[in-house]
Structures are given as structure tokens and as C-alpha cells.
């Protein structure tokens, strides 16, 4: 197998690994944001006795975005180490 084919396979593998990392970290961030907002809403209702804002979806999106940014920097770090 030629060196060029090995390099192409390595690049494709790195691309899919990077994509998987980005998606997983984004999903984890989204779930963490949703869970945190849901838990905080339950606390506000039980302890403070006032209606909490219903923005779980917003916090899930924020968490997903943070996870995506974190994943992007992890992928950049991996690519820098690889080269």
C-alpha cells in the first residue's frame, strides 16, 4: 500500500473521529444544560415559591453550543499533535 493511500485513510479516520467527538460533546453539553435547568426549575418551585422561567430548551442549546466549542478545540488539539 502506498504512502499516499495510508495518509488518505488516516485523514478519513481522523475526520470521522473528530466528527464523533464534536457530536458527543455537543450532546453531552445539551443534556447537561437541560438537566441543570430542569433541576434548578424544580428547586425554584419548591423553595422559593415563585414560577421559574421555562427555558430548559434554551439552556440545552447553550450547553450544546459550549460542548460543540469544547469539541472543536479538542479536535484542533488532536490535529495539531497528529501533524
Q: What is the pTM of this model?
A: 0.58
Torsion on CA atoms 33, 38, 44, 46, rounded to nearest 10:
-150
pLDDT band at 17 (very low <50, low <70, confident <90, very high): confident
36 versus 7: which is more confidently predicted? 36
* CA-closest candidate to residue 64, choices 29, 19, 24, 35: 29
What local confidence, expressed as pLDDT, does residue 24 receive?
A: 84
| Rounded average pLDDT over 59-74 | 81
Distance CA 66, CA 74 (A): 12
Query: Domain residue spans in the chain?
Result: 14-82
Amino acid at each position: 500500500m502506498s504512502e499516499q493511500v495510508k495518509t488518505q485513510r488516516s485523514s478519513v479516520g481522523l475526520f470521522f473521529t473528530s466528527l464523533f467527538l464534536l457530536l458527543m460533546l455537543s450532546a453531552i453539553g445539551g443534556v447537561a444544560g437541560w438537566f441543570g435547568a430542569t433541576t434548578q426549575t424544580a428547586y425554584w418551585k419548591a423553595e422559593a415559591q415563585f414560577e421559574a422561567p421555562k427555558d430548559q430548551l434554551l439552556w440545552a442549546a447553550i450547553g450544546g453550543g459550549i460542548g460543540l466549542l469544547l469539541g472543536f478545540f479538542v479536535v484542533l488539539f488532536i490535529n495539531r499533535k497528529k501533524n
